[in-house]
């Protein structure tokens, strides 16, 4: 089918005798002897206005078709006399691929609530807000790949089916082919238990030990029953892992990545981001500029707790040394105290995962969390424990079997070295880029507790 994308038509340099576009009718206005169509094909936010004169073959082709119908319009591209648009199409011929009954098509109104649109997740990509969010998602992925590739990282693919619980959190989905009631795991597909991965980190570490710098960009799963606006059961994690690098290098990497991605999006997705600035979060663009340009604040967990204790704030959960930071604490630090992205490092070992490198103080580990205004934790990572004896000791201390980690310990037996990595929650990044407050609205088909409708 010979046709142009509306995005390229709208940036045309000169008029054209003959253009063809395909898209969905967003609105139809019937005037005296003329009909105006606003056409959108998803290639960009702006609609293309098509003018249809009554009594022409185009008007006949269009018939009564209205909002939601899929059409092909051919005609002449001319400068638009109307306000707000440079070009319009004077239709010569219209073909309707598929109509949409105005009695039953749910997207008739200009604005619908997020809650309602979640119940029609299969139709919401046809709205301005969701198509813009999903275009931003696409571009953000591209920007992440570009950054890592330019820094010498290789993309790797880590398994989704796994036998190990990376975070030690025990909040995993089980995968089985056993019939209901059958409990003997030796009869299961893998002759053992199998779960959906919570993180590709351990495998990424193995790959980094051969390729030096790697990143995985994959789906991860958490069966935590936390019904918050920031948690999904299925989400995407971006996980770089670097050999021969320490926690300072890791903080630089996180800062470089976030600066580069947000800076890229401000340029490449200006139109879509401005929609969110107008309708979702006033001041979004200014806030993103700060994130893209300002150096990150860097403090230790101990300093963070001391700031929180002295803040005079009445937190729901008071901050105290030894207790993990809550979202309210993270937001206070990034949003109010520093007013910019903040990295907190060196958390107490008890509240962090077994693989994080023990600091010399015997109390803390070389961990880091990157906190951003409005979201809280965007990135979590650490330097990894590269000393075999220290790692073995920690695994035993946590009551785990060394045999379960045999291959992971091999990485310390053969050519071990200081290395580190982090996980960035891709959906939280999209929330940050759009100002959207609920993770359910940045994932096309979100999975949250009790919700698997699509």
The residues that touch Mg ion, with contacts defined as CB under 5 A, are 380
- When CB distances are held under 5 to 8 angstroms depending on the partner's kind, the choice from ligand 4AD, Mg ion, none that residue 313 binds is none
DSSP string covering 190-246 = TSS--EE-S-SHHHHHHHHHHHSEEEEEEEEE-------TT--SEEEEEEEEEES--
Nearer to Mg ion, 325 or 358 (CB): 325
DSSP string covering 8-65 = HHHT-SS-EEEEEEEEEEEEEEEETTEEEEEEE-SSSSSPEEEEEETTSHHHHHHTT-
- When CB distances are held under 5 to 8 angstroms depending on the partner's kind, the choice from ligand 4AD, Mg ion, none that residue 422 binds is ligand 4AD
| Dihedral sign for Cα atoms in the order 335, 341, 345, 349 | positive
34-40 and 87-98 beta bridge pairing = unpaired
Length of the chain: 454
213-221 and 154-156 beta bridge pairing = parallel
Which of 381, 418, 435, 446 binds ligand 4AD (CB under 6 A)? It is 381
Nearer to Mg ion, 199 or 416 (CB): 199
Mention every residue, 6+ apart, whose C-beta is less than 8 A from residue 104: none
The single residue listed with the structure tokens 């935590």 is 224
Q: Does 385 bind ligand 4AD (CB under 6 A)?
A: no
Residue 225 Cβ, how far from ligand 4AD at the closest point, in Å?
11
169 to 208: interface string for ligand 4AD, x by CB under 6 A: ------------------------------x-x-------
Residue 394 Cβ, how far from ligand 4AD at the closest point, in Å?
16
Which of 135, 329, 428, 440 binds ligand 4AD (CB under 6 A)? It is 428
The separation between CA 302 and the C-alpha centre of its own chain, rounded to angstroms, equals: 30
Pick the piece of the chain touching ligand 4AD (CB under 6 A) from 58-66, 122-130, 141-149, 415-423: 415-423
Residue 37: strand pairing partners: 28, 50
147 is written with which tokens? 């950054």
Cα-flanking dihedrals φ and ψ of residue 74, to 5°?
-115, 145
Q: Does 167 bind ligand 4AD (CB under 6 A)?
A: yes
Pick the piece of the chain touching ligand 4AD (CB under 6 A) from 2-10, 23-31, 53-61, 422-430: 422-430
C-alpha 23/C-alpha 2 separation (Å) is 13
108 is written with which tokens? 């008739």
Site for ligand 4AD in 206-235 (CB under 6 A): 222, 231-232, 235
Which of 418, 421, 435, 446 binds ligand 4AD (CB under 6 A)? It is 421
Q: Does 166 bind ligand 4AD (CB under 6 A)?
A: yes
- When CB distances are held under 5 to 8 angstroms depending on the partner's kind, the choice from Mg ion, ligand 4AD, none that residue 381 binds is ligand 4AD
Judged by CB under 6 A, the number of residues near ligand 4AD is 22
Residues that bind ligand 4AD (CB under 6 A): 166-167, 199, 201, 222, 231-232, 235, 237, 239, 377-381, 421-423, 425, 427-428, 439
């Amino acid at each position: 089918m010979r046709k142009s994308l509306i995005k390229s038509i709208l940036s045309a340099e000169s008029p054209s005798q003959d253009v063809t576009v395909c898209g969905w009718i967003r609105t139809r206005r019937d005037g005296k002897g003329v009909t105006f169509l606003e056409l959108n094909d998803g290639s960009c936010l702006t609609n293309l206005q098509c003018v249809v004169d009554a009594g022409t073959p185009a008007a006949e082709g269009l018939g009564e078709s209205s909002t939601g119908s899929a059409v092909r319009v051919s005609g002449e591209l001319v400068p638009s006399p109307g306000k707000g648009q440079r070009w319009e199409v004077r239709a010569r011929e219209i073909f309707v691929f598929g109509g949409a009954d105005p009695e039953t098509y749910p997207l008739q109104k200009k604005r619908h609530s997020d809650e309602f649109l979640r119940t029609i997740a299969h139709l919401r990509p046809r709205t301005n807000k969701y198509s813009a969010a999903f275009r931003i998602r696409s571009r953000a992925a591209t920007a992440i790949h570009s950054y890592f590739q330019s820094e010498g990282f290789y993309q790797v693919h880590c398994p989704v089916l796994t036998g190990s619980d990376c975070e030690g959190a025990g909040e995993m989905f089980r995968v089985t082919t056993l019939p209901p009631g059958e409990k003997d795991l030796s009869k299961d597909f893998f002759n053992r238990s199998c779960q959906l991965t919570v993180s590709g980190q351990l495998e990424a570490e193995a790959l980094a030990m051969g390729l030096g710098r790697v990143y995985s960009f994959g789906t991860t799963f958490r069966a935590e029953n936390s019904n918050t606006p920031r948690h999904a059961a299925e989400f995407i994690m971006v996980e770089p892992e670097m050999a021969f690098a320490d926690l300072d290098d890791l903080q630089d990497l996180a800062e470089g990545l976030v600066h580069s991605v947000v800076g890229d999006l401000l340029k490449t997705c200006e139109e879509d981001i401005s929609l969110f600035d107008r309708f979702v979060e006033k001041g979004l663009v200014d806030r993103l500029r700060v994130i893209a340009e300002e150096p990150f604040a860097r403090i230790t967990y101990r300093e963070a707790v001391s700031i929180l204790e002295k803040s005079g704030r009445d937190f729901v959960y008071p901050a105290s040394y030894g207790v993990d930071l809550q979202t309210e604490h993270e937001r206070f630090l990034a949003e109010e105290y520093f007013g910019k992205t903040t990295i907190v490092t060196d958390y107490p070992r008890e509240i962090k995962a077994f693989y994080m490198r023990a600091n010399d103080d015997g109390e803390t580990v070389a961990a880091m969390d990157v906190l951003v205004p409005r979201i809280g934790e965007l990135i979590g990572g650490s330097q990894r424990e590269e000393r075999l004896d220290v790692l073995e000791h920690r695994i035993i201390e946590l009551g785990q079997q060394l045999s379960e980690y045999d291959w992971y310990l091999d990485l310390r037996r053969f050519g071990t070295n200081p290395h580190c990595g982090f996980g960035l929650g891709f959906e939280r990044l999209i929330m940050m880029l759009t100002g959207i407050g609920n993770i359910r609205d940045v994932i096309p088909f979100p999975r949250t507790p009790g919700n698997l409708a699509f």
